């Protein structure tokens, strides 16, 4: 794998957000999955998105990427509203991975990344049909970029391997490589360490740092709060479709509302229950 930085930077970008969600609300019939969610992602920033199951995290990702059309609110990239069309959102610079891996299992690792690269391959129908110089140049550039990305995520030896034959952790990295092939300004990662062991989780953390160092801003959904708190510049906690807390990892980790949201009772009540349990023992 490409040599990766060991720590996050001390500072992140300032100024206007790269990606900004304003008042995003998503309703499904009588169910409100998101209610007035707002946040901004700046240049060079890694944001963590955490919360209990059903909090609305993946729904928010779906709204950010055009898979869902919000009932209310806006999503903008560098001040321009994003279209409600996933393909066009990707073209404009927002890429994502999914909670459940969505590779093409019967295609090789190289072919999977080339699929992502397709959005940046601009060819006329005539050039594609005749395989003219422009077509051949575009194909060569795509192949070169694909090889670079497979090396970047640590998978160069698997270029010709079918995606379904790769180990689970490598499939996760391949999906990230495919997303990076679109040349995104913003990368959304939905539970990138789910099912991984400690070594694979650490490798993923370092890979995300390296992605940030390429100039890509990142938003990560993850249930592993230790992973989030050692990775992110800022953390948002979603509970029942609303932003409960937003702040640095230290601020969020020490907020009693976060403890209550995850454990279902106020911190002092939890402490009392533990104390009673110790006495009963």
Give residue 174's pLDDT: 96
Residue 8 pLDDT > 60: no
Residue 105 pLDDT > 50: yes
**Alpha-carbon distance 115 to 182, whole Å?**
9
Give residue 171's pLDDT: 95
Q: In 10 A of CB 93, how many CB atoms? A: 19
The three-point CA angle 214-12-38 to 5° equals 105
pLDDT in tens, 198-223: 999 999 999 999 999 999 999 999 98
The residues spanned by each domain of the chain are 1-93+184-281, 104-179
Least Cα distance to 228 among 210, 245, 212, 249 occurs for 249
Q: Mean pLDDT over residues 21-46, rounded?
A: 96
Q: Mean pLDDT over residues 180-195, rounded?
A: 95
Q: Mean pLDDT over residues 107-125, rounded?
A: 80
Q: Please give the residue that has the higher pLDDT: either 254 or 191.
A: 191
Q: Mean pLDDT over residues 39-53, rounded?
A: 95
Give residue 273's pLDDT: 45
Residue 3 pLDDT > 70: no
User: Which residues are 24's β-sheet partners?
Assistant: 37
Residue 266 pLDDT > 60: no
Q: Please give the residue that has the higher pLDDT: either 40 or 129.
A: 40
Q: Mean pLDDT over residues 16-35, rounded?
A: 94
Give residue 183's pLDDT: 93
CATH class (in words) of the domain with range 1-93+184-281: alpha beta
Mean pLDDT computed over every residue of the chain:
86
Give residue 151's pLDDT: 96
Residue 142 pLDDT > 90: no
Q: Determine what percent of the chain is predicted with pLDDT higher than 70.
A: 81
Give residue 121's pLDDT: 61
- C-beta of residue 222 within 8 angstroms of C-beta of residue 238: no
Least Cα distance to 112 among 163, 187, 170 occurs for 163
Q: How confident is the model at residue 25 (pLDDT cuts 50, 70, 90)?
A: very high
Residue 269 pLDDT > 60: no
Give residue 263's pLDDT: 58
Give residue 274's pLDDT: 38
- C-beta of residue 36 within 8 angstroms of C-beta of residue 24: yes
The three-point CA angle 88-90-95 to 5° equals 155
């Amino acid at each position: 794998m490409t040599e990766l930085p060991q720590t996050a930077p001390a500072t992140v970008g300032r100024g206007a957000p790269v990606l900004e969600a304003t008042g995003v609300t998503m309703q499904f019939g009588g169910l409100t999955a998101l209610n007035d969610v707002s946040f901004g992602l700046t240049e060079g920033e890694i944001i963590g998105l955490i919360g209990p199951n059903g909090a609305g995290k993946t729904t928010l990702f779906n709204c950010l990427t055009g898979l869902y059309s919000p009932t209310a609110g806006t999503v903008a990239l560098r001040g321009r509203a994003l279209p409600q069309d996933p393909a066009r959102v990707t073209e404009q610079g927002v890429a994502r991975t999914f909670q459940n891996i969505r590779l093409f299992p019967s295609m090789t690792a190289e072919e999977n990344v080339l699929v992502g690269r397709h959005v940046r391959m601009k060819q006329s129908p005539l050039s594609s049909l005749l395989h003219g110089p422009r077509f051949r140049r575009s194909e060569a550039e795509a192949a070169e970029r694909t090889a670079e990305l497979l090396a970047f995520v640590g998978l160069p030896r698997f270029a010709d391997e079918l995606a379904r034959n790769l180990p689970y952790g490598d499939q996760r990295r391949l999906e990230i490589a495919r997303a990076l092939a679109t040349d995104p300004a913003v990368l959304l990662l939905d539970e990138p360490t789910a099912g991984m062991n400690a070594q694979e989780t650490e490798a993923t953390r370092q890979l995300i740092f390296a992605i940030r160092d390429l100039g890509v801003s990142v938003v990560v959904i993850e249930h592993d709060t230790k992973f989030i708190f050692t990775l992110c510049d800022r953390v948002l906690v979603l509970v029942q479709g609303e932003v409960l807390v937003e702040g640095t990892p230290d601020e969020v980790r020490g907020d009693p509302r976060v403890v209550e949201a995850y454990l279902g009772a106020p911190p002092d009540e939890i402490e009392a229950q533990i104390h009673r349990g110790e006495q009963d023992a």
